[in-house]
Amino acid sequence: MAAGRAEGTGRSGPTLEQVAARAGVGRGTASRVINGSPRVSPRARAAVEAAVAELGYVPHRAARALAAGSADTLALVVPEQENRLFAEPYFSEILRGVSSELADTDMQLLLTLIRDERSRDRFARYAAARRVDGVLLVSVHGDDPLPELLRDAGVPAVLSGRRSADERVPHVDSDNVVGAQIAVEHLLGRGRRKVATITGPPDMYAARCRLEGYREALRAATRTEGGPDERLIAQGDFTEEGGRRAMLRLLERDPWVDAVFCASDVMAAGARLALREAGRKVPEDVALVGFDDSAVARHMDPPLTTVRQPIEEMGRAMVRMLRRLMPGEDGPPDGARAKGRAKGGGADAADEDGTRLVLPTELIRRSSS
Protein backbone atom coordinates (compact mmCIF):
# COMPACT_ATOMS: atom_id res chain seq x y z
CA MET A 1 0.00 0.00 0.00
CA ALA A 2 2.84 2.35 0.72
CA ALA A 3 4.60 1.77 -2.55
CA GLY A 4 3.14 3.84 -5.40
CA ARG A 5 4.84 6.87 -6.84
CA ALA A 6 3.08 10.03 -5.82
CA GLU A 7 1.14 10.55 -9.01
CA GLY A 8 1.69 9.74 -12.64
CA THR A 9 -0.30 7.44 -14.86
CA GLY A 10 -2.27 5.52 -12.27
CA ARG A 11 -0.91 2.11 -11.41
CA SER A 12 -2.26 -0.45 -13.77
CA GLY A 13 -3.81 -3.78 -13.01
CA PRO A 14 -2.23 -6.86 -11.52
CA THR A 15 0.72 -8.41 -13.31
CA LEU A 16 1.39 -11.94 -14.35
CA GLU A 17 3.91 -12.11 -11.55
CA GLN A 18 1.24 -11.34 -8.99
CA VAL A 19 -1.12 -13.84 -10.49
CA ALA A 20 1.59 -16.46 -10.37
CA ALA A 21 2.40 -15.64 -6.77
CA ARG A 22 -1.19 -15.87 -5.75
CA ALA A 23 -1.62 -19.17 -7.54
CA GLY A 24 1.54 -20.44 -5.93
CA VAL A 25 3.23 -21.17 -9.24
CA GLY A 26 6.01 -19.67 -11.28
CA ARG A 27 5.65 -16.95 -13.84
CA GLY A 28 6.30 -19.37 -16.64
CA THR A 29 3.49 -21.65 -15.63
CA ALA A 30 1.09 -18.78 -15.24
CA SER A 31 2.00 -17.58 -18.69
CA ARG A 32 1.40 -21.01 -20.11
CA VAL A 33 -2.06 -21.15 -18.60
CA ILE A 34 -2.96 -17.73 -19.88
CA ASN A 35 -1.88 -18.67 -23.35
CA GLY A 36 -3.57 -22.02 -23.33
CA SER A 37 -0.51 -24.17 -23.62
CA PRO A 38 -1.41 -27.83 -23.14
CA ARG A 39 1.66 -28.68 -21.11
CA VAL A 40 0.34 -27.62 -17.75
CA SER A 41 -0.99 -29.82 -14.98
CA PRO A 42 -4.70 -29.48 -14.31
CA ARG A 43 -3.85 -28.51 -10.75
CA ALA A 44 -1.69 -25.59 -11.79
CA ARG A 45 -4.16 -24.56 -14.42
CA ALA A 46 -6.99 -24.40 -11.95
CA ALA A 47 -4.93 -22.44 -9.46
CA VAL A 48 -3.91 -19.88 -12.05
CA GLU A 49 -7.39 -19.54 -13.41
CA ALA A 50 -8.70 -18.89 -9.94
CA ALA A 51 -6.04 -16.29 -9.32
CA VAL A 52 -6.83 -14.58 -12.61
CA ALA A 53 -10.48 -14.39 -11.69
CA GLU A 54 -9.86 -13.11 -8.19
CA LEU A 55 -7.39 -10.47 -9.24
CA GLY A 56 -9.23 -9.51 -12.37
CA TYR A 57 -6.06 -9.94 -14.31
CA VAL A 58 -5.89 -8.56 -17.83
CA PRO A 59 -2.72 -9.25 -19.82
CA HIS A 60 -0.77 -6.15 -20.65
CA ARG A 61 -0.85 -5.89 -24.37
CA ALA A 62 2.18 -3.75 -24.83
CA ALA A 63 4.32 -5.99 -22.70
CA ARG A 64 3.09 -9.04 -24.49
CA ALA A 65 3.71 -7.50 -27.86
CA LEU A 66 7.15 -6.37 -26.89
CA ALA A 67 8.20 -9.70 -25.53
CA ALA A 68 6.68 -11.77 -28.28
CA GLY A 69 7.92 -9.53 -31.04
CA SER A 70 4.48 -9.43 -32.58
CA ALA A 71 2.30 -6.39 -32.43
CA ASP A 72 -0.87 -8.26 -31.60
CA THR A 73 -2.59 -5.79 -33.81
CA LEU A 74 -4.32 -5.74 -37.15
CA ALA A 75 -4.65 -2.57 -39.13
CA LEU A 76 -7.75 -1.73 -41.07
CA VAL A 77 -6.75 0.69 -43.76
CA VAL A 78 -9.32 2.83 -45.48
CA PRO A 79 -8.52 5.26 -48.24
CA GLU A 80 -10.49 8.34 -47.52
CA GLN A 81 -10.49 9.91 -50.97
CA GLU A 82 -14.01 9.00 -51.83
CA ASN A 83 -15.99 9.77 -48.77
CA ARG A 84 -18.96 8.52 -50.67
CA LEU A 85 -17.78 5.05 -49.90
CA PHE A 86 -17.26 5.93 -46.32
CA ALA A 87 -20.84 6.95 -45.95
CA GLU A 88 -22.23 3.84 -47.53
CA PRO A 89 -23.01 0.98 -45.26
CA TYR A 90 -20.15 -0.85 -46.90
CA PHE A 91 -17.52 0.40 -44.58
CA SER A 92 -19.62 0.07 -41.47
CA GLU A 93 -20.53 -3.46 -42.29
CA ILE A 94 -17.00 -4.51 -43.08
CA LEU A 95 -16.05 -3.02 -39.80
CA ARG A 96 -18.72 -4.91 -37.98
CA GLY A 97 -17.62 -8.17 -39.51
CA VAL A 98 -13.99 -7.52 -38.75
CA SER A 99 -14.74 -6.46 -35.26
CA SER A 100 -16.92 -9.43 -34.47
CA GLU A 101 -14.39 -11.86 -35.82
CA LEU A 102 -11.74 -10.19 -33.74
CA ALA A 103 -13.81 -10.22 -30.59
CA ASP A 104 -12.68 -13.70 -29.61
CA THR A 105 -9.13 -13.19 -30.72
CA ASP A 106 -8.35 -10.28 -28.51
CA MET A 107 -6.14 -8.77 -31.11
CA GLN A 108 -6.40 -5.06 -31.44
CA LEU A 109 -7.95 -3.33 -34.37
CA LEU A 110 -6.00 -0.34 -35.45
CA LEU A 111 -7.86 1.98 -37.72
CA THR A 112 -6.02 4.04 -40.24
CA LEU A 113 -7.43 6.48 -42.69
CA ILE A 114 -5.20 7.17 -45.63
CA ARG A 115 -5.89 10.66 -46.81
CA ASP A 116 -2.87 11.48 -48.92
CA GLU A 117 0.49 10.26 -50.01
CA ARG A 118 2.13 11.39 -46.85
CA SER A 119 -0.11 9.41 -44.61
CA ARG A 120 0.13 6.43 -46.92
CA ASP A 121 3.91 6.42 -46.80
CA ARG A 122 3.81 6.88 -43.11
CA PHE A 123 1.62 3.88 -42.76
CA ALA A 124 3.75 1.84 -45.14
CA ARG A 125 6.81 2.56 -43.05
CA TYR A 126 4.94 1.83 -39.90
CA ALA A 127 3.77 -1.49 -41.21
CA ALA A 128 7.14 -2.36 -42.64
CA ALA A 129 8.64 -1.83 -39.22
CA ARG A 130 6.39 -4.68 -38.12
CA ARG A 131 4.29 -2.54 -35.92
CA VAL A 132 1.26 -4.47 -37.09
CA ASP A 133 0.87 -8.15 -37.71
CA GLY A 134 -1.35 -7.82 -40.69
CA VAL A 135 -3.30 -5.37 -42.77
CA LEU A 136 -6.85 -5.31 -44.03
CA LEU A 137 -7.18 -3.08 -47.06
CA VAL A 138 -10.63 -1.81 -47.78
CA SER A 139 -11.56 -0.82 -51.31
CA VAL A 140 -8.15 -0.21 -52.76
CA HIS A 141 -7.99 1.52 -56.09
CA GLY A 142 -6.26 -0.03 -59.01
CA ASP A 143 -3.33 2.33 -58.89
CA ASP A 144 -2.70 2.24 -55.17
CA PRO A 145 0.83 1.01 -54.53
CA LEU A 146 0.09 0.05 -50.95
CA PRO A 147 -0.65 -3.63 -51.55
CA GLU A 148 2.63 -4.06 -53.35
CA LEU A 149 4.53 -2.03 -50.77
CA LEU A 150 3.21 -4.28 -48.06
CA ARG A 151 3.90 -7.44 -49.99
CA ASP A 152 7.50 -6.40 -50.57
CA ALA A 153 7.85 -5.61 -46.91
CA GLY A 154 6.54 -9.06 -46.12
CA VAL A 155 3.54 -7.81 -44.22
CA PRO A 156 0.49 -10.01 -44.66
CA ALA A 157 -2.41 -8.17 -46.23
CA VAL A 158 -5.89 -8.97 -47.43
CA LEU A 159 -7.95 -6.90 -49.84
CA SER A 160 -11.67 -6.42 -49.91
CA GLY A 161 -12.48 -6.78 -53.55
CA ARG A 162 -10.14 -7.42 -56.43
CA ARG A 163 -8.46 -4.94 -58.68
CA SER A 164 -8.46 -7.32 -61.61
CA ALA A 165 -9.39 -10.86 -62.53
CA ASP A 166 -5.98 -12.20 -61.65
CA GLU A 167 -5.50 -10.29 -58.44
CA ARG A 168 -2.35 -11.65 -56.85
CA VAL A 169 -2.80 -10.16 -53.43
CA PRO A 170 -4.97 -12.29 -51.14
CA HIS A 171 -8.51 -11.01 -51.18
CA VAL A 172 -12.14 -11.55 -50.32
CA ASP A 173 -14.65 -10.44 -52.87
CA SER A 174 -18.31 -10.94 -53.58
CA ASP A 175 -19.59 -12.53 -56.71
CA ASN A 176 -20.43 -9.55 -58.84
CA VAL A 177 -20.89 -11.56 -61.99
CA VAL A 178 -23.46 -13.91 -60.55
CA GLY A 179 -25.09 -11.06 -58.66
CA ALA A 180 -25.70 -9.19 -61.87
CA GLN A 181 -26.78 -12.38 -63.54
CA ILE A 182 -29.50 -13.18 -61.03
CA ALA A 183 -30.67 -9.60 -61.14
CA VAL A 184 -31.13 -9.74 -64.89
CA GLU A 185 -32.62 -13.22 -64.78
CA HIS A 186 -35.08 -11.90 -62.24
CA LEU A 187 -36.11 -9.13 -64.62
CA LEU A 188 -36.43 -11.53 -67.51
CA GLY A 189 -38.41 -13.87 -65.30
CA ARG A 190 -40.89 -11.10 -64.63
CA GLY A 191 -41.57 -10.94 -68.32
CA ARG A 192 -39.40 -7.99 -69.21
CA ARG A 193 -38.19 -8.01 -72.77
CA LYS A 194 -35.91 -5.04 -73.14
CA VAL A 195 -33.54 -5.17 -70.23
CA ALA A 196 -30.96 -2.38 -70.27
CA THR A 197 -28.07 -1.76 -67.92
CA ILE A 198 -26.28 1.22 -66.48
CA THR A 199 -22.68 0.31 -65.78
CA GLY A 200 -20.04 1.62 -63.45
CA PRO A 201 -16.76 3.13 -64.64
CA PRO A 202 -14.99 0.49 -66.73
CA ASP A 203 -11.71 0.96 -64.90
CA MET A 204 -13.26 -0.61 -61.84
CA TYR A 205 -13.13 -4.34 -61.87
CA ALA A 206 -16.37 -4.76 -59.94
CA ALA A 207 -18.14 -2.66 -62.54
CA ARG A 208 -16.79 -4.83 -65.34
CA CYS A 209 -17.93 -7.95 -63.53
CA ARG A 210 -21.43 -6.63 -63.16
CA LEU A 211 -21.55 -5.85 -66.83
CA GLU A 212 -20.31 -9.30 -67.63
CA GLY A 213 -23.04 -10.83 -65.49
CA TYR A 214 -25.60 -8.80 -67.36
CA ARG A 215 -24.27 -9.96 -70.71
CA GLU A 216 -24.09 -13.54 -69.54
CA ALA A 217 -27.70 -13.59 -68.43
CA LEU A 218 -28.96 -12.06 -71.64
CA ARG A 219 -26.85 -14.33 -73.76
CA ALA A 220 -28.23 -17.38 -71.99
CA ALA A 221 -31.78 -16.15 -72.32
CA THR A 222 -31.81 -14.96 -75.88
CA ARG A 223 -29.86 -17.85 -77.29
CA THR A 224 -29.66 -15.79 -80.39
CA GLU A 225 -26.22 -15.18 -81.70
CA GLY A 226 -24.77 -11.74 -81.13
CA GLY A 227 -25.99 -11.64 -77.59
CA PRO A 228 -27.43 -8.54 -75.95
CA ASP A 229 -28.15 -5.34 -77.76
CA GLU A 230 -25.20 -3.03 -77.17
CA ARG A 231 -27.45 -0.01 -77.38
CA LEU A 232 -29.02 -1.06 -74.12
CA ILE A 233 -25.77 -0.59 -72.31
CA ALA A 234 -25.11 2.89 -70.92
CA GLN A 235 -22.11 3.86 -68.93
CA GLY A 236 -22.47 5.55 -65.56
CA ASP A 237 -19.94 6.45 -62.93
CA PHE A 238 -21.54 5.23 -59.72
CA THR A 239 -22.97 8.68 -59.02
CA GLU A 240 -26.59 9.67 -58.95
CA GLU A 241 -26.22 12.27 -61.65
CA GLY A 242 -24.33 9.82 -63.82
CA GLY A 243 -27.17 7.35 -63.40
CA ARG A 244 -29.70 9.94 -64.36
CA ARG A 245 -27.94 10.91 -67.53
CA ALA A 246 -27.32 7.31 -68.50
CA MET A 247 -31.02 6.61 -68.13
CA LEU A 248 -31.90 9.55 -70.32
CA ARG A 249 -29.55 8.24 -72.97
CA LEU A 250 -31.13 4.81 -72.78
CA LEU A 251 -34.61 6.22 -73.21
CA GLU A 252 -33.44 8.18 -76.16
CA ARG A 253 -31.86 5.21 -77.84
CA ASP A 254 -34.80 2.94 -77.23
CA PRO A 255 -38.04 4.27 -75.77
CA TRP A 256 -39.34 0.76 -75.29
CA VAL A 257 -36.90 -0.16 -72.56
CA ASP A 258 -38.93 -1.93 -69.90
CA ALA A 259 -36.26 -2.82 -67.33
CA VAL A 260 -32.91 -1.51 -66.17
CA PHE A 261 -30.24 -3.19 -64.14
CA CYS A 262 -28.10 -0.55 -62.48
CA ALA A 263 -24.64 -1.43 -61.24
CA SER A 264 -25.25 0.53 -58.04
CA ASP A 265 -28.19 1.69 -55.98
CA VAL A 266 -27.11 5.28 -56.18
CA MET A 267 -27.18 5.16 -59.97
CA ALA A 268 -30.57 3.50 -59.75
CA ALA A 269 -31.74 6.49 -57.73
CA GLY A 270 -30.51 8.70 -60.54
CA ALA A 271 -32.21 6.54 -63.12
CA ARG A 272 -35.40 6.72 -61.15
CA LEU A 273 -35.23 10.51 -61.35
CA ALA A 274 -34.82 10.39 -65.10
CA LEU A 275 -37.71 7.99 -65.44
CA ARG A 276 -39.93 10.26 -63.42
CA GLU A 277 -38.96 13.21 -65.59
CA ALA A 278 -39.84 11.13 -68.61
CA GLY A 279 -43.17 10.20 -67.12
CA ARG A 280 -42.37 6.53 -66.86
CA LYS A 281 -43.77 4.63 -63.92
CA VAL A 282 -41.72 2.24 -61.83
CA PRO A 283 -42.27 -0.65 -61.95
CA GLU A 284 -45.25 -0.57 -64.30
CA ASP A 285 -43.44 0.90 -67.31
CA VAL A 286 -39.88 0.23 -66.33
CA ALA A 287 -38.62 -2.20 -63.71
CA LEU A 288 -35.52 -1.20 -61.81
CA VAL A 289 -32.87 -3.24 -60.03
CA GLY A 290 -29.87 -1.87 -58.22
CA PHE A 291 -26.77 -3.24 -56.59
CA ASP A 292 -25.42 -2.92 -53.02
CA ASP A 293 -28.57 -2.89 -50.91
CA SER A 294 -27.64 0.45 -49.46
CA ALA A 295 -29.85 2.71 -47.40
CA VAL A 296 -30.89 4.50 -50.57
CA ALA A 297 -32.47 1.34 -51.88
CA ARG A 298 -34.76 0.88 -48.92
CA HIS A 299 -35.89 4.46 -48.97
CA MET A 300 -36.49 4.91 -52.64
CA ASP A 301 -39.98 5.20 -53.99
CA PRO A 302 -40.80 2.49 -54.73
CA PRO A 303 -38.27 0.59 -52.64
CA LEU A 304 -35.57 -0.76 -54.86
CA THR A 305 -34.97 -4.39 -55.70
CA THR A 306 -31.26 -4.84 -55.39
CA VAL A 307 -28.38 -7.25 -55.07
CA ARG A 308 -26.95 -7.65 -51.63
CA GLN A 309 -23.34 -8.49 -50.99
CA PRO A 310 -22.56 -10.32 -47.76
CA ILE A 311 -20.36 -7.50 -46.62
CA GLU A 312 -20.24 -8.29 -42.96
CA GLU A 313 -19.30 -11.86 -43.78
CA MET A 314 -16.63 -10.51 -46.09
CA GLY A 315 -15.16 -8.62 -43.18
CA ARG A 316 -15.10 -11.77 -41.12
CA ALA A 317 -13.58 -13.78 -43.89
CA MET A 318 -10.88 -11.18 -44.40
CA VAL A 319 -9.81 -11.51 -40.82
CA ARG A 320 -9.77 -15.29 -40.98
CA MET A 321 -7.73 -15.22 -44.15
CA LEU A 322 -5.31 -12.72 -42.75
CA ARG A 323 -4.75 -14.73 -39.65
CA ARG A 324 -3.97 -17.74 -41.74
CA LEU A 325 -1.37 -15.69 -43.57
CA MET A 326 0.28 -14.54 -40.42
CA PRO A 327 3.27 -16.56 -39.28
CA GLY A 328 2.74 -18.41 -36.05
CA GLU A 329 -0.98 -18.66 -36.40
CA ASP A 330 -1.65 -21.71 -38.42
CA GLY A 331 -5.37 -21.54 -38.44
CA PRO A 332 -7.36 -24.76 -38.78
CA PRO A 333 -5.66 -28.16 -39.25
CA ASP A 334 -4.03 -26.88 -42.39
CA GLY A 335 -4.42 -30.11 -44.30
CA ALA A 336 -4.36 -28.76 -47.83
CA ARG A 337 -0.66 -28.17 -48.26
CA ALA A 338 0.50 -30.83 -50.70
CA LYS A 339 -2.64 -32.86 -50.48
CA GLY A 340 -4.60 -31.08 -53.14
CA ARG A 341 -7.69 -32.41 -51.49
CA ALA A 342 -10.71 -32.59 -53.75
CA LYS A 343 -12.55 -29.34 -53.31
CA GLY A 344 -16.30 -29.60 -53.03
CA GLY A 345 -17.52 -27.05 -55.54
CA GLY A 346 -19.63 -25.29 -52.96
CA ALA A 347 -21.06 -21.82 -52.97
CA ASP A 348 -17.91 -20.29 -51.59
CA ALA A 349 -15.17 -20.55 -54.11
CA ALA A 350 -11.80 -20.53 -52.42
CA ASP A 351 -8.74 -21.61 -54.31
CA GLU A 352 -6.34 -24.18 -53.01
CA ASP A 353 -4.21 -21.97 -50.84
CA GLY A 354 -7.22 -20.20 -49.36
CA THR A 355 -6.03 -16.85 -50.46
CA ARG A 356 -8.82 -15.94 -52.81
CA LEU A 357 -12.38 -16.03 -51.68
CA VAL A 358 -15.48 -15.00 -53.54
CA LEU A 359 -18.70 -14.97 -51.58
CA PRO A 360 -22.14 -15.32 -53.10
CA THR A 361 -24.50 -12.41 -53.60
CA GLU A 362 -28.22 -12.38 -53.10
CA LEU A 363 -31.22 -10.71 -54.69
CA ILE A 364 -33.35 -8.59 -52.39
CA ARG A 365 -36.79 -8.25 -53.96
CA ARG A 366 -38.66 -5.06 -53.39
CA SER A 367 -41.37 -3.37 -55.34
CA SER A 368 -39.35 -1.65 -58.04
CA SER A 369 -39.41 -4.79 -60.20
Partner DNA sequence: ACAACTACTGGGAGCGCTCCCACAGTTGAC
Partner DNA sequence: GTCAACTGTGGGAGCGCTCCCAGTAGTTGT
Tell me how far CA of residue 307 lies from CA of 78, 158, 237, 313, in angstroms.
Answer: 24, 24, 18, 15
Smallest gap, in angstroms, from Cβ of residue 60 to DNA?
Answer: 3
Residue pair 93/315 in contact (Cβ under 8 Å)? The answer is yes
**Buried-exposed string 73-104: b where 16+ CB fall within 10 A, e elsewhere:** ebbbbbbeeeeeebebebbebbbebbeebbee
User: What single letter denotes the amino acid at residue 22?
Assistant: R
Smallest gap, in angstroms, from Cβ of residue 61 to a copy of itself?
Answer: 6
**Counting contacts by CB under 8 A, is residue 128 touching a copy of itself?**
yes
Q: Report what 276 binds from DNA, a copy of itself, none; CB cut-off 5-8 Å by kind.
A: a copy of itself
C-alpha span between 311 and 359 (Å, rounded): 9
| Angle at 80 (CA atoms; ends 78, 85), nearest 5 degrees | 85
Smallest gap, in angstroms, from Cβ of residue 105 to DNA?
Answer: 14
CA nearest 328: which of 134, 166, 158? Answer: 134
Peptide bond into 228 cis (omega under 30): no
Q: Which residues contribute to the site for DNA (CB under 7 A)?
A: 5, 11-12, 15-17, 24-29, 31-32, 34-35, 38-41, 43-44, 57, 59-60, 63-64, 66-69
Cα distance between the two ends of the chain = 72
**Counting contacts by CB under 8 A, is residue 91 touching a copy of itself?**
yes
**Counting contacts by CB under 8 A, is residue 301 touching a copy of itself?**
yes
**Counting contacts by CB under 8 A, is residue 347 touching a copy of itself?**
no
> Which residue from 327, 333, 335, 346 is in contact with a copy of itself, where contact means CB under 8 A?
327
Q: Report what 29 binds from DNA, a copy of itself, none; CB cut-off 5-8 Å by kind.
A: DNA
Residues that bind a copy of itself (CB under 8 A): 7-13, 56, 58, 60-63, 65-66, 68-73, 76, 80, 83, 86-89, 91-93, 95-96, 99-100, 103, 108-113, 115, 119, 125-126, 128-131, 133, 154, 240, 266, 269, 276, 294-296, 299-301, 327-328
